[in-house]
């Protein structure tokens, strides 16, 4: 079985100073390369000659076949790149898409819907139940599977650093940006934290290496999805580091198997969040027990190793 993996968006080399932030896709790609025996890549950052190609070659799957040989399976991660000959690919080639934020309200929703309709994938793997429901609602073709977000268990791990930060809540929040429009509750959380007396708080966005270290240094990390009720990638990244997670409530946690008060703690509003911050800062033993349970839970179920293993099972079950 030969696998062609298409572009994951622009690849940023290195994970230290200056890393731009697409590490979840980068680490997922690396795990695909580890678990599949015969895999090659076409796209920005993977082919050293890709930038020298003309547009017709860059965006042609058949050109990739000519250069590297025909694939049995194409995996197209969430990047919405319009390969010009996608709909003309040999029907014996299995076309697999790992979906992203396909939900009404996403500013790119209409473009994503057009892309999915055009590409006509055989298999679509969704990282959230919300996206899975939306795919069905909008009659997107292809067999659909739930494939939760993963994390790299090597990078996202307990570094045994001193817990010098009381509460962390850093997100991509820009004053007039899409993130603020989609997640308006995040900036309210940050404002509330800075008004709480006597706490060491971290809300500044960080590059990859600092991100993992800051999580490890935090007694409490606050995640927030607000309007869109699904489990986002940050949940498992934080929990895999052995850090206690407070996150806003949604039904997807229970449906996937997370237990409130055992693996993590859910909050309902700002007042509830404030009360729980103060409670779990005071009750260290209980906080650390939940953090340890959460770390064991996600590392046993939701790592990239588990995610790609499940992806491999899906592909093998659908090969033509």
Q: Would you list the domain boundaries of the chain?
A: 2-150+303-318, 165-301
**CATH entry 3.40.50.300 includes domain 2-150+303-318:** no
What lies within 8 Å, CB to CB, of 49 at 6+ separation is none
The CA–CA distances, whole Å, from 193 to 30, 188, 290 equal 37, 9, 22
pLDDT(7) > 80: no
For range 59-74, the mean pLDDT: 91
Mean pLDDT (the chain, rounded) = 87
Among the listed ranges 28-32, 33-37, 191-195, which one has the minimum average pLDDT value?
28-32
Q: Name 299's Cβ contacts closer than 8 Å, sequence gap at least 6.
A: 153, 240
Give the whole-angstrom CA distance, residue 26 versus residue 231: 20
Cβ(82)–Cβ(112) below 8 Å: no
Tell me if domain 2-150+303-318 and domain 165-301 are identical in fold: yes
| 246 strand-pairing partners | 222, 265
Least confident of 27-41, 239-253, 261-275: 27-41
What is the fold of 165-301?
Rossmann fold (3.40.50)
19-37 average pLDDT score? 77
Q: Where are the alpha helices (DSSP H) in 72-201?
A: 109-119, 129-137, 178-182, 184-195
pLDDT digits (tens, 9 = 90+) for 129-160: 999 999 999 999 999 999 999 999 999 999 99
Q: In terms of pLDDT, which residue wins out, 26 or 182? A: 26
State residue 170's pLDDT score.
87
Residues 105-129 pLDDT 10s: 777 888 899 989 988 899 999 999 9
Over 70: is that where the pLDDT of 44 sits? no
pLDDT band at 23 (very low <50, low <70, confident <90, very high): confident
Question: Would you call 313 helix, strand, or coil by DSSP?
Answer: helix
SS3 category, 67: helix
At 9, the pLDDT band (50, 70, 90 cuts) reads: low
> 171-180, 243-252, 296-305: which range is least confident on average?
171-180
């Amino acid at each position: 079985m030969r696998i062609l993996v298409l572009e994951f968006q622009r690849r940023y080399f290195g994970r230290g100073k200056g890393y731009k932030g697409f590490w979840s896709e980068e680490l997922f790609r690396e795990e695909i390369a580890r678990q599949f025996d015969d895999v090659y890549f076409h796209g920005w950052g993977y082919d050293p000659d890709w930038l020298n190609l003309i547009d017709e070659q860059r965006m042609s799957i058949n050109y990739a076949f000519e250069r590297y040989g025909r694939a049995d399976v194409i995996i197209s991660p969430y990047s919405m790149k319009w390969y010009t000959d996608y709909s003309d690919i040999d029907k014996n080639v299995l076309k697999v898409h790992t979906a992203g934020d396909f939900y009404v309200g996403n500013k790119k929703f209409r473009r994503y819907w057009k892309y999915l309709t055009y590409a006509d994938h055989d298999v679509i793997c969704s990282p959230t139940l919300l996206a899975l429901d939306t795919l069905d609602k909008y009659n997107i073709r292809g067999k659909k599977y739930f494939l939760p977000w993963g994390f790299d268990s090597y990078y996202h791990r307990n570094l045994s650093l001193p817990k010098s930060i009381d509460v962390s809540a850093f997100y991509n929040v820009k004053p007039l940006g899409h993130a603020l429009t989609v997640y308006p509750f995040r900036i309210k959380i940050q404002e509330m934290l800075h008004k709480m007396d006597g706490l060491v708080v971290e809300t500044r966005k960080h590059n990859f290496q600092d991100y993992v270290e800051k999580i490890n240094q935090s007694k409490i990390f606050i995640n927030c999805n607000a309007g869109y009720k699904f489990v986002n990638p940050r949940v498992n990244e934080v929990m895999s580091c052995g850090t206690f997670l407070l996150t806003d409530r949604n039904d997807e946690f229970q449906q996937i198997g997370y237990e409130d008060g055992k693996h993590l703690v859910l909050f309902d509003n700002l007042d509830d969040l404030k009360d729980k911050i103060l409670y779990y800062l005071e009750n260290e033993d209980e906080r650390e027990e939940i953090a340890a349970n959460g770390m064991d839970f996600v590392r046993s179920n939701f790592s990239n190793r588990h995610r790609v293993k499940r992806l491999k099972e899906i592909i093998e079950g659908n090969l033509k």
